Structure formats: C-alpha cells, structure tokens
Amino acid sequence: MEAAKVRASRRSICILWHLKSKRILCVTRYTSTAQALMSSGMEMGFNIVSRAKPILHSEDRVERLRRIPPEELPNYLFHRQSGTIVKIENPKPLTEKQKNACILLAGRARYLRRVTRVVSQARKRVAPSELYGAFVDQIRREQALKFRASGYDEALIQECLFVFQYAQVKKITARAAADEIIFRFSLFEADLWKTEEVKLKYYDLFANAANLEDLHDIFQDFIREYYLNARV
C-alpha cells in the first residue's frame, strides 16, 4: 500500500493503484482530490491524462469503476502501459486491513470531492469565466499598476489602453480609473484567498484522517467553519 499511482482520464476519473501489485485502491472524480489523497503520505504517484478510450476490459468506460464498492476495487488491475483495467479471475483474498484501507481511501476521496465542489461553487461566484473576463481583468490590472507606478503619467495612454477605455466609459479620470481597477481586482483576489485557507486546511485534514468516524467529524467541522460560523 506504500506506493500507488494516479491516473486521470479526460472524463476526470482518477485512479489510485498499488504500484507493485497494480491492484486498484481508489477511484475518484477530481484530479485535485487524487492529489490530496497522494499528499497524505501513504500513497505516491502522479497524474496521467489518458486518451478517452474504453479501458475497463473493453466492457465499459472507466466511469464504471466508480460504481464498484471500494472493498472490491483491488479485484481489478490497472495496466499502465496499455491503459486498460482487467478484472482478476481468481484474486488472492484480500486481508481485512487491505479492505479497510480501500474503504478509508474511498471515504477520504468522497469528502474531498465535497470540499472541492463547494469551494469551486464559491469561486464561480467571484470568478465567472464569460467573455474571457479573467484575462481582461488581469491585463487591465497590470496596466493600471503600470500607470500608477508612473505617477499617473498620461503619456502612457498607448500602453494602458484598457485603463483609459475604462475611464472613458465610466466618465472618471484615468487616475480614478486606475485606482478603481486595482481596488476591484483586490476584491477578486481577496475572495479567492478567503476560500483557499479553508481548502488548504481541510484537504490536509481529510487526506490524513485515520478512520471513517474521523472523516465524518472533520466534515462536521468543515461545514461549521465554511458555512455556519458566518451565521451570526
């Protein structure tokens, strides 16, 4: 169990498997979740984004693995070179320790997915991706910083087009525009930053939880810190 690898397909399925025996230990949907499981220290590995091809013994796509109970996953082998998954005909019986390890890994992955999902939802609110807005915001902020650093020198108009465009539309001075652009970007940064601390904390806690009961307790703490503490 000390060495495993992670595989991610285009369908965002990640597989953790035992490096020596090639037996599958855990299946999870998000790459970041698999990364967090790896960071627990018990597993090692890296992501490989595969071609989207059927790999479950030509029967189904890898997504089928997600429906297999975690304690039965080691009855499947992952062949890295061919990218296929094969069911073992007469598998060597699993020990209770191995079964429990798989259940725990699957439990960790399940809670980590929930953290990933709620943090992503919170971030979508502050970072919508329509119209390449993130690129525009980034460029405009860099130009605003450059303009401010020059002492608001209006000779820089050609190099700071986004700033002057913003000032023209909002009917404010270029200086006020630069200050507002920088300030608004700081709000966006602060909102991302705010969710990052709790994510860092709980990725570590879940990935290192020792049993299912601990996982549940940690999740209760996560809900409290992420949502309920703000209910004042």
Partner 1 sequence: MPVSKNIYIYNPMLITKKKLQDLPGIRAFRHVLHLFNENVVLVDRTNTIQVPVNVTVHAPIPEFRMIDKSYEQICDERAQELLHRSDEHDLPINVFYSGGIDSTLVLVSLLKNATEAQKNRICAFMSQESINENPAFYRDHLRGKVKLEAAAIYPYALSKRALFVGGEHNDQIFGSALFKDFLDLHGEDALAKKYSRSQMGQMFGRKWHNDVVISWYMDLFEKVRAAAPCPVDSNADFLWWINFSLKWQSVYFRMLTYASDFVIHNIDRDFIDNNFFHFYGTDAFQLWSMGNPDKRVVTKWESYKQEAKDVIYRFNKDSEYRDYKTKNGSLAWVIMHQIQKNFIDDQMHMYMTLPRKDWFNPNNSFRDAPF
* Interface residue list for partner 1 (CB under 8 A): 122, 126, 172-173, 176, 179-180, 183-184, 186-191, 193-195, 197-198, 201, 220, 224-232
Task: Give min distance, CB of 128 to partner 1, in A.
Answer: 12
Q: Which is nearer to partner 1, 68 or 212 (CB)?
A: 212
Task: Give min distance, CB of 208 to partner 1, in A.
Answer: 17
Q: Which is nearer to partner 1, 56 or 145 (CB)?
A: 145
Token code pair at residue 43: 């597993």
Task: Name every residue whose Cβ is closer than 8 Å to that of residue 17 and which is 6 or more positions away in sequence.
Answer: 4, 5, 7, 23, 24, 25, 78
**How many Å apart are CA 45 and CA 5, to the nearest integer?**
4
Helix (H) / strand (E) containing 166: helix 161-170
- Report which DSSP code applies to 158: G
CB distance 108 to 37 below 8 Å:
yes
Q: Which is nearer to partner 1, 58 or 211 (CB)?
A: 211
Task: Give min distance, CB of 231 to partner 1, in A.
Answer: 4
**How many Å apart are CA 80 and CA 55, to the nearest integer?**
11
Task: Give min distance, CB of 94 to partner 1, in A.
Answer: 32
Any idea what the Cα angle at residue 214 is, between residues 211 and 218, rounded to 5°? 140
Task: Give min distance, CB of 120 to partner 1, in A.
Answer: 13
Q: Counting beta carbons within 10 angstroms of the beta carbon of residue 113, is it exposed (0 to 12), middle (13 to 18) or buried (19 or more)?
A: middle
Determine the 3-state secondary structure of 127 from DSSP: coil
Q: Which is nearer to partner 1, 46 or 183 (CB)?
A: 183
Task: Give min distance, CB of 183 to partner 1, in A.
Answer: 5
